Structure 1
Amino acid sequence: MEEDEAIRAQFPLSFGKKTKSQSHSIVAAHAATRRQPTSPTSSSLLPAPNTTVKSNIRQVGLFPYRKKSDFKGGNEQTTSSVEEEEVSQDDSGLIGPPRPPLTLNDDEVMVGPPRPPMNDDDEDEDVPIIGPPRPPMVESDVDEDEDDGLMMPDDLFRIPMTNEIVLKGHSKVVSALAVDHSGSRVLSGSYDYTLRMYDFQGMNAKLQSFRQLEPFEGHQVRSLSWSPSADRFLCVSGSAQAKIYDRDGLTLGEFIKGDMYIRDLKNTKGHISGITAGEWNPKEKNTILTSSEDGSLRIWDVSDFKTQKQVIKPKLARPGRVPVNYCAWDHEGKRIVGGIGDGSIQIWNIKPGWGSRPDIHITKGHEDEITGLKFSSDGQILLSRSMDNTLKIWDLRNSKSPLKVFDDLPNNYAQTNPAFSPDEQLILTGTSIERESTTGGLLCFFGRKKLQLLSKVGISSNCSVICCTWHPKLNQVFATVGDKKEGATHILYDPCISKRGALACVARAPRKRSVDDFVIQPVIHNPHALPLFRDQPSRKRQREKAMKDPLMSHKPELPVTGPGHGGRVGTTKGSLLTQYLLKQGGMIKETWMDEDPREAILKYADAASKDPKFIAPAYAETQPEPVFAKSDSEEEDK
């Protein structure tokens, strides 16, 4: 015993103690972010509706669940969905799916898993099939009439939308969104002129940003883009100068502004009007593309903020300046696309000796301003979103007409963009709120294979959906919403199929405050602020202060202005009570206010002429007698 105690003394007291399970806290955290059932959708790609199970462990992804529709052609009895599969707990405390029922045959108990069920074709032969279920059927094995009722393996990618968190902080529309390639940091820009940075690894359940920036005072943030190595990012505001920040939000520099008095845009060193969009080259870490309201696209080198590599002027039907509303790179960084203000879409191939002449020119792409463009990974499909309430899908091999036009998609913001799912089998975009509409902002999903609407997911009841993206590594959907009063970023995820990102911070509770966190706020006393140690003011300042004080300066009373009696004016029509009573009784009559001033003076004219006293006798000998012209009125009357 003594040896055991000596050995035990070498280990800490917590060694060997059972740790509390964290599954309960994880379950509670994800249950709080569970999305409420939304409006009916038109797709079986959505996850199964919420159902009641005996344990919430399966809901948070500790056991991956499957759907019946995932297995076609095989035996459905071997797999069960989460709705039908209940979690049982026996006396031994084991958690898991229910055990198979015991079958008695000739007083013997069957031990082991049940036999695989028989196939439909072999029911008559009573021969059991041993082995895994048959592979799912493909299109070649299915008749054309039965093709509509089956889901192909390409369509099995579910939308992660069972849970939702909201990144708040903005006071207006969130118009820009960027998630780095690893999925650890999120950038959001808004119409409130601010940029917020979120870090999933350092963020807890309060979902607060760790940094807030104002790139350019009084200008909205329109576009954000990470570099290929995610060590820097580009910020485009409504000003003519784009800025580059490092990963922690420190300013690295801003591009130069051009000369607005130069007519030819190719001779200017930079943009002369507000920048509408910008994107980092996906392959080159020092190349950036921007578009502006001055009607040009420019390619920049981040290593030199004072010069530009290339100036592209789009092709126009008439000479002039038409703004370029949007720009984007393809996945290889070898082509750029621009959405022009006249509704055209122009694509340039970057090659030696290339100029402003576009390689692909779609003259009538949209009827209104283009708000978003997106290349597919193979470079053959182009998505375009516009304020004419449409989403168009273009095949660049034959760009005379779009493959499909999805209309009735309200769009009131110049930053509404389309996006692809990670496997590019789904296309998603947001919608804006209309004045007479009863539905809020929606996130619409379309199938690329059959070019049809699959589902509409409600994101916000009173805000429009602007920017959206589906991160491939996190398998989470980001959507920004907002209006004139608020703005936020909604993150949709599924604990079973999503990774990191929102899952890392939802279950992380805020750190409890300890005694060490208590800091006494010291009271700092400035000796010179106390009257005892304060310096005496100068004599000049003392005189100025004394002049402002009516008692110290012996300031006389101001003269009375306006009508009054006895040189005083009171609020009761007289400064004294007797004056007020005499006036009210009619004993004091003041008629001089009702007389004509000229008549009041002339009534003393006769007395002054007969008995002059002061001024008239001094000038009696020298002053000539006035001779007035006689009136001719009497002669005219005769």
Structure 2
Amino acid sequence: MSDDDDELAELRAQRAARTGQLSMSTLRQKLDHARGAGPDDTTASVDRDGPEPDEMHTVSLNGSNGHAASVAEDPGDDAGIGPPIPQDLGDDLVGPAVPPEEADGMDGDAWDGRGLGEPDVQEDPYRLPVTSEVALEGQGKYVASLDVDHSGSRVLSGSRDYSVRLFDFNGMKSDLKSFRQIQPFDGHPVHAVSWSPTGDAFLAVTGAAKIKVFNRDGTERGESLQGDMYIRDQRNTKGHVSPCTYGHWHPTDRYTALTSSEDGTVRVWDTENVVQKTVVKPTLAKPGRVTVSMARYSNDGHLIVAGLNNGTLQSWDIRGKFGASAAIGQVMPPTAQMVGKQDWRYVSGGGKVLHGAHAKDCEVTSLAFSKDDNTLLSRAADDTLKVWDLRKFKTPVHVWEDLPAMHPTTQVVFSPDERLILTGVSAGRDATGGALVFFDAQSRSLVRRIGMPSSVVAVQWHAKLNQIFVGVGDKKAGSVRILYDTTWSTRGVLQAVGRKPRGKNLFDFQAPLVIHNPHALPMYREDKPHGKRKREKDRMDPVKSHAPERGSAAMLKPGTGGNIGVTGGTLLTQYILKNQGMLRNPAEEDIRASILRHADKEGDQFSTFTKAYAKTQPERIFQEEEKDEEGSDKEA
């Protein structure tokens, strides 16, 4: 073996010891030593710490992120150089392994996970994908809710401008435009959007008392019923009677979703038929009706947690006979209200209730579960973020304060590896201060704060894409900001940023838009007998009795009846009279001006119109003045 080979083997051993990994040669020696076999026996496997041969059947390569990889064959002499290439090992994996520290023999280059590094670069120990940012513009107001399907190919954004926009990374160009925009209910802002676990449909919750379910392409599949607002008992209504506040699809059941409402209930829906399945009524400290501002499922779908506008948190375990126990049973409506079969169930009480979890009269804006469903995060309008242990659901484990949340759907989420907690901060009145903040879940310290142009409301970190989606905006405009890293992130928006939209070509052609008069199409023609009755009916029709516009087919003829023709076949006489101003349309003539033309003329105005009859008419005889009778007697 040459000196170069010896030096290369030494470098491999140093790197393997530094990164906590074993080279193939060292691993094979440990394997043979543990089993007492020859150097060619590679069928058995042992751990790095040397367990007994009968305990394991795979070789575990434990990296810095704690994931195991199985070794089945000898990959050659190059094995063990640098860390293993990151593989898709599930939601726990967020990017490749943490970069090792710089050591001798690497020529001063820092390792960046790909073997290509820049000198003197300190890597982020949390591997935050925040080095690059793009914006999905177009929303008229701030984005209140967003959701990414499980495959990471489509994004939903619900805005306060009453619309839901769908973005598809597979067909998106670098202009980053949505391929569809829908309005679930006109005039109602969107509070929540949620994908089904299979990604074939999504739920849209607005300020209306109804909800809608759409398929993957945005076509409406169904709409729920609205309950009777005059029925006081909410257990007897077929739907919400007040505006909805939030909605969440079941994480594993593609036919179940829940919604919360201002009527003080949480309702579980059958999304296939869009009908009500269960009515859940939170337990209140005193009788009344309190708005349920937030409700969602746990990650395994076994728990429902709701947050109220008075700062109360309550959870229900829905495993087993949820809503069908002997204490609760099925509540049937009175006979007077028995208009149809009521097959939904009513749930009240039970579970864990914590009054005063947040400040009084402050709504809970967001809830988030850890993967083991033992830890709960709650965000509220009292500018706090609290961590709860559901096994000891009495006092918070930790509280972060001074986090403004001016919007009713300000969200909080865990990172995919649950090392970090993300939440949004609202901007002040001067439109500054909006940010996305990161907290360490173990040390409870602030890790990073990323400023945004306006308030941060919706937040989601997609595990497969390793990209952070942030919904921002204000009353004037909104957008979805996507944070990513060109090294750690995969697919998603990276597929679209490199696609340039097609430019316009000089030889492009598009057929002109032709607008047809509906009454001129054959499909609208009706064969009716002609006669006086038909003419009278046509005169009553405002469309048929409307005079044709200038230049229409009805006017393509020489002018008649005082109208000037518009075709090239106009008579020469009409053309001369029109230009000389002697031919006027009576409908366009000012009658008052015509009368005032004679106001300044002197003399008898009546004779002006009777000169033609002066020679043919007899002489007019007027009554003569009578003489005084007394005067005549004196003369006699």
Q: TM-score range by the shorter chain?
A: 0.5 to 0.7
CA contact (8 A) 1:392 1:403 kept: yes
Q: Distance in 2 between matches of 1:207 and 1:372?
A: 28
The Cα of 1:157 is off from its aligned counterpart by: 3.7
Q: How far is 1:521 from its partner?
A: 3.0
Deviations 1:347-370 (CA, angstroms, capped at 9, x unpaired): 001130353213111111111111
User: Cα distance, 1:524 vs. partner?
Assistant: 7.6
What amino acid is aligned across from residue 347 of structure 1 in structure 2?
S
Equivalences for residues 285-364 of structure 1 within 5 A: 285-305=254-274, 307-350=275-318, 351-352=320-321, 353=324, 355-364=347-356
Closer, same or farther: CA 345–523 of 1 in aligned 2, 3 Å = closer
Matching residue of 1:456: 449
Cross-structure match for 2:374 = 380
Name which of structure 1's ranges 514-523 and 281-290 shifts more when overlaid on structure 2. 514-523
For 1:95-174, list aligned pairs within 5 A.
156-174=125-143
**CA 80–322 in structure 1, closer or farther in 2 if over 3 Å, else same:** farther
Query: Secondary structure in 2 aligned to 1:402?
Result: coil
Q: Determine whether 1:76 maps to 2:103.
A: yes
Gaps of 5+ in 1: 1-61, 88-94, 100-150, 559-567, 569-574, 577-638
Aligned to 1:486: 477
Cα distance change of structure 1 residues 324 and 67 upon mapping to structure 2, 3 Å threshold: closer
Q: How big is the shift at 1:514?
A: 4.6
Q: Which runs of 4+ in 1 moved over 6 A?
A: 66-69, 80-85, 95-99, 522-529, 552-556
2: CA distance between counterparts of 1:231 and 1:80? 52
Q: CA deviation at 1:76?
A: 2.4
Unpaired runs of 5+ in structure 2? Answer: 1-84, 88-94, 326-346, 521-547, 564-583, 602-636
Q: Which residue of 2 aligns with 1:583?
A: none
* Residue type at the aligned position of 1:494: D
Change (3 A) 1:240 1:70: same
Aligned-residue offset at 1:397? 1.0
Measured after TM superposition, the shift of residue 70 of structure 1 is 3.6
Q: Which residue of 2 aligns with 1:278?
A: 247
Residue 445 of structure 1, CA deviation: 0.6
Match of 1:76, SS state, is: coil
Counterparts of 1:83 and 1:440 in 2: how far apart (Å)?
35
Cα distance, 1:82–1:419 mapped onto 2, change above 3 Å: farther
Secondary structure class of the residue paired with 1:284: coil
The structure-2 alpha-carbon separation of the partners of 1:98 and 1:328, relative to structure 1 and needing over 3 Å to count, comes to: closer
SS in 1 for 2:496: helix
Partner letter of residue 433 of structure 2?
A: G
Aligned partners of 1:224 and 1:278 also within 8 Å: yes
Shift, 1:440, TM fit: 2.8
Indicate if the aligned counterparts of 2:166 and 2:180 stay in contact, CA closer than 8 A. Answer: yes
Once residues 323 and 254 of structure 1 are traced to their aligned partners in structure 2, the CA distance between those partners, rounded to angstroms, is 22
**Partner amino acid, structure 2, of 1:465:** V
* Counterpart residue number, 2:407: 413
Q: Helix, strand or coil for the counterpart of 1:500?
A: coil
Residue 186 (structure 2) pairs with residue 217 (structure 1)? yes
Q: Distance in 2 between matches of 1:268 and 1:340?
A: 21
How much does 1:190 deviate?
Answer: 0.8
Does residue 391 (structure 1) correspond to residue 385 (structure 2)? The answer is yes
Structure 2 letter corresponding to 1:158: R
Q: 1:386 to 1:82 in 2, by over 3 A?
A: farther
- Determine if the alignment matches structure 1 residue 422 to structure 2 residue 416: yes
Alignment of 1:160-199 (within 5 A): 160-199=129-168
Whole-angstrom distance in 1 between the partners of 2:186 and 2:593: 51
Q: Please give the alpha-carbon distance, in whole angstroms, between the structure 1 residues aligned to 2:369 and 2:466.
A: 20
- The one-character-per-residue Cα deviations of 1:88-146 (angstroms, maximum 9, x if unpaired) are xxxxxxx97799xxxxxxxxxxxxxxxxxxxxxxxxxxxxxxxxxxxxxxxxxxxxxxx
Change in 2 beyond 3 A, CA 1:164/1:550: closer
Once the two structures are superposed, residues 470-502 of structure 1 have per-residue CA deviations (whole angstroms, 9 ceiling, x without a partner) of: 000000001011011110010000010000001
> CA 1:519–1:177 in structure 2 vs 1: closer, same or farther (change >3 Å)?
same
1:444 counterpart residue number: 437
Tell me what 2:510 maps to.
519
Mapping of residues 43-62 of structure 1, within 5 Å: none
What's the C-alpha RMSD, in Å, of the aligned pairs? 3.9
Whole-angstrom distance in 2 between the partners of 1:231 and 1:206: 26
1:431 is the counterpart of 2:405: no
Match of 2:489, SS state, is coil
- Alignment partners' CA distance in 2, 1:231 and 1:197: 13
Taking the aligned partners of 1:550 and 1:162, their CA distance within structure 2 comes to 70
Alpha-carbon offset, residue 186 of structure 1: 0.5
Residues 346, 556 of structure 1: CA spacing in aligned structure 2 closer, same or farther, 3 A cutoff? same
Flag the 1:274–1:547 CA change in 2: closer, same or farther, 3 A: farther
- The answer (yes or no) to whether the contact 1:547–1:553 under 8 Å persists in 2 is no
Shift of 1:551: 4.9
Q: Which amino acid aligns with 2:100?
A: F
Partner Cα separation in structure 2 for residue 80 and residue 331 of structure 1: 47
Aligned residue pairs: how many? 430
Q: In structure 2, do the counterparts of structure 1 residues 551 and 167 end up closer, same or farther at CA, with 3 Å as the change threshold?
A: closer
| Deviation of 1:548 (Å) | 8.4
Identity %: 43
Task: Trace 1:201-280 onto structure 2 (pairs within 5 A).
Answer: 201-280=170-249
Letter aligned with residue 477 of structure 1 = I
C-alpha separation in 2, matches of 1:181 and 1:290: 21
Distance change >3 Å, CA 507–CA 323, structure 1 → 2: same
Rounded to whole Å, the distance in 1 between the matches of 2:588 and 2:507 is: 57
Counterpart amino acid of residue 76 in structure 1: A
Residues 170 and 496, structure 2, Cα contact 8 Å, conserved in 1: yes
